[in-house]
Chains A and B, each alone.
Chain A
């Protein structure tokens, strides 16, 4: 029998960590470790991408949630960024030639805000000095001279004309239709009927006077446009001449301050021309005001929209004393947050915009450095991924809003000059997204040539445990937690192994571990403990499980009450306890499921009832087909399999997936064929291949614990236990109570390699091997199975012959 070979000793059921071996009393003695550990491959890839200067060496980082991908990437990039040069500032300024296409100017870092302040001061200064200039004696005198000249030429002409008209008895009336020339008598307008009654000579005289006035007035009005144009030109020339003096004076300091920056010269020249041409903008801008008790020394008018054309919009700036390149993490990578946007403001019922309403995006802020983005969020934001690719391909940031891309924008907008882009993009996502992008987006592989994969676990050995302990010390220090004792760290290490589902591994999904640590600190605080000890860690772990296992508890209650029919005693033909596991968020739990098999004569068909009713997933169906293959090749390989069998997960209504029950299903089927009962004290998990070898499965700890809880509910007998694949032994990190029950002989765990071992443990009979004659040893399970199949085959053959004979007789008749 195999029992003594397969039974596992308690010491392999949980890989306990010896706190003494850790070599410290509390984490206060340790040097905190902030860097990533156990992810050397990923770190190497990140450093490569961070160090490469060529385009397209963008990086995709993938790995499990909670593995510290984001924080680690940012940390490594900051390390690399520290040695890079500080990028330049970028500003947008008004384009005086094409106002809808603002210019982008590259300035030495730290210069952008200075230039913005300088331009704002220039506008404020001009708002004071230009009105003062136009109020000056010199200006007023010269303006008065011009006005007088044109007044003399024009207004005095009209005065004379009006005087002559009065003398002729003609009134010049201003009406909405124009000037009406009406004859008057003693200052009163004469009506036409009155004039008609006058002697003809008088009427002729009146007509002559009106006609003469009409001619003079017409000549005068015809001369007006030309004179008006000359007048405007004369005033404009005077204004420009005067404005030029004050503009040049005010620009002198500014030009000197930024003399070394070539790109600013052309812009300042354009500003100067515009200021001179539009000096009247400032005429009413600089009026002194006061705000309550605080007099304003100088009016701040640069913020008013009419002066925005002189404003400097700093898109990105780095302080003069800054070091290194920027590392930006954009948590909400919308199109606007990435490439920037052009905002609008409401003005008199319409939407307007100008250069000051261009807003920078993460690409602007990260230009010259690194930009970290969450891949999933990026891909779910409309147009964001496409815009990012476009920017990377063209190496420039072009601001195009979603409305413009859809052609929905009907209001005036801007098309800012694109800004050259030189940065490294780091996408953080998961393996699935990486695969999807590689498969479906041909540009992805071109643009993201480096991949960094974060592992989910690392080997558990003295060095890695020591590093984990230092990381615990790091979290303790960073978050101000209580120090953790060596025993507390040992409990955390055991938790990390359990999370890794491997006694020889440590999970690197550290966020859960830190959550347990934080909760343990809280529990320690509640009882007034100065340090975090094992009991606090295990208490936190148990509490987390308890909060999540309401459903598991309910399942166990239903098993205990017999609602879910699970026998943990006795023996039944064609019935076995399988094990299932379910995940609810971070919590996983297992419970037993009854699997039954029924057989009869047939044509070699094994019916998976779960699949028939579409409750079975493809992997489960694959497992059933594999066991069918095992059955048909292992027994009577030279004869047709004349069997009809059905397999079912009893009381399962929610679907079955995975092949971890295939050993159990095969045992139930063989039991039904052999007519040998299976013990219900044992539960089985494991998948099978066509050679009958048992393969490892997932969730083995939870499955064992689930059956242990069911047995506990029905009473432990000492004969109960679980059969697991031997290749899962390294995955065992069982609860302390299960380990204790095994140690006390109240529960057993067997590791098996082959289905024959399962049969022997479940039936108490030898499985049986083929002898030299090719037949199984008599009295064994396999011999019984083969005999039953032989019976089916012969019965089928006989049935076929009799049917053939009956058919021939019918033909003869």
Chain B
């Protein structure tokens, strides 16, 4: 039995905002360094936010009683600022590990982009975060306890200083919600449907990884 994690050709880090990306950058850089893979980051603009122009915004630190509305112009400025911060943070982290990283922006939901950009041999990280930096186990949704997702989960658990758990591949999203996962590793079998992926991410609210496939 091998304990080596599956090797990746490329590590693709996808995030909808810098706030979501920040906790996942270290993970992406470490994974790329560990597997000698190229590192690419994408800041994704969720097309639903375009449709939601004029929607109410809720942010931290805003005085009670004031309402901020989502505007195209404001969104454009915030998106550009997030892109700058994302790129800068990524470059710094990559430099520390003597890696080269590329960065770009794209439009789409994280599951759509993950499945659309994924190439054979790519490891994909869909960045998401909790409100509190809670440390829970790293879960792998895979039926084979020695499968690639389980091995990657073990590796990540070692990095996080936590434990790995292997759950059945068809574990429903609502089971993940109370588990306070540090990361979720998905196998090939449960990572082909964007809607299912979106549901898993919403429930887990932690970085979700798609293991490299040949």
Shortest Cβ distance from residue A239 to the other chain B in the assembled complex, whole angstroms: 11
Stretch of A172-180, A555-563, A791-799 at the chain-chain interface: A172-180
B144 in the interface (beta carbon within 8 A): no
Contacts of B82 in A (CB 8 A): 176
Q: Which 10 A-B pairs have the closest CB atoms?
A: A178-B59, A182-B52, A176-B78, A176-B82, A189-B51, A151-B180, A182-B55, A192-B54, A177-B78, A179-B58
Q: Is the CB of B132 within 8 A of A228?
A: yes
Contacts known (A177-B74, A182-B51, A189-B51); A148 close to B132, Cβ less than 8 A: no
A135-B161, A175-B75 known; 9 other A-B pairs, CB under 8 Å?
A140-B163, A143-B135, A144-B136, A174-B46, A179-B57, A180-B52, A182-B48, A189-B52, A191-B52
Contacts of A162 in B (CB 8 A): 202
Name the residue of chain B whose CB is nearest to the CB of A160.
Answer: B177
A271 in the interface (beta carbon within 8 A): no
Q: Is the CB of B53 within 8 A of A192?
A: yes
Contacts known (A180-B70, A189-B48); A154 close to B131, Cβ less than 8 A: yes
The contact string, 1 if C-beta is below 8 Å from chain A, for chain B 21-51, is 0000000000000000000000000101101
B214 in the interface (beta carbon within 8 A): no
A645 in the interface (beta carbon within 8 A): no
Name the residue of chain A whose CB is nearest to the CB of B180.
Answer: A151
Q: Is the CB of B178 within 8 A of A151?
A: yes
Return the contact of A227 from the options B58, B81, B132 (Cβ within 8 A): B132
Q: How far is the CA of A334 from the CA of B189 in the complex (A)?
A: 71
Return the contact of B131 from the options A143, A171, A214, A224 (Cβ within 8 A): A224
Return the contact of A177 from the options B70, B130, B132, B162 (Cβ within 8 A): B70
Contacts known (A171-B48, A181-B58, A182-B55); A176 close to B17, Cβ less than 8 A: yes
Q: Is the CB of A151 within 8 A of B58?
A: no
The contact string, 1 if C-beta is below 8 Å from chain B, for chain A 191-224, is 1100000000000000000110010011001001
Complex interface residues of chain A between 130 and 168 (CB less than 8 A to chain B): 131, 134-135, 140, 143-144, 147-148, 150-152, 154-156, 158-159, 162
Q: Is the CB of A173 within 8 A of B132?
A: no
Return the contact of B46 from the options A173, A231, A284 (Cβ within 8 A): A173
Q: How far is the CA of A188 from the CA of B96 in the complex (A)?
A: 42
Contacts of B75 in A (CB 8 A): 175-177
Contacts known (A182-B48, A189-B48); A176 close to B58, Cβ less than 8 A: no
The contact string, 1 if C-beta is below 8 Å from chain A, for chain B 77-92, is 0110110000000000
19 residue pairs bridging A and B, Cβ less than 8 Å apart:
A151-B134, A156-B177, A162-B202, A171-B52, A174-B17, A175-B75, A176-B17, A176-B18, A177-B57, A180-B55, A182-B55, A189-B52, A192-B53, A210-B55, A224-B60, A224-B132, A228-B132, A231-B132, A231-B133
Q: How far is the CA of A173 from the CA of B70 in the complex (A)?
A: 11
Chain B residues with CB under 8 Å of chain A are 16-20, 46, 48-49, 51-60, 62, 64, 67-68, 70, 74-75, 78-79, 81-82, 95-96, 130-136, 159, 161-163, 177-178, 180, 202, 205
Q: Is the CB of B134 within 8 A of A150?
A: yes
Shortest Cβ distance from residue B17 to the other chain A in the assembled complex, whole angstroms: 5
Contacts of B56 in A (CB 8 A): 180-181, 210-211, 214
A283 in the interface (beta carbon within 8 A): yes
Shortest Cβ distance from residue B103 to the other chain A in the assembled complex, whole angstroms: 15
Q: Is the CB of B51 within 8 A of A131?
A: no
Shortest Cβ distance from residue B81 to the other chain A in the assembled complex, whole angstroms: 7
Contacts of B96 in A (CB 8 A): 348
Q: Is the CB of B55 within 8 A of A147?
A: no
* Most chain A CB inside 10 Å of its own CB: which residue of B18, B52, B70, B205: B52
Contacts of B162 in A (CB 8 A): 140
Contacts of B79 in A (CB 8 A): 176
Name the residue of chain A whose CB is nearest to the CB of B65.
Answer: A218
Contacts known (A135-B161, A171-B48); A178 close to B58, Cβ less than 8 A: yes
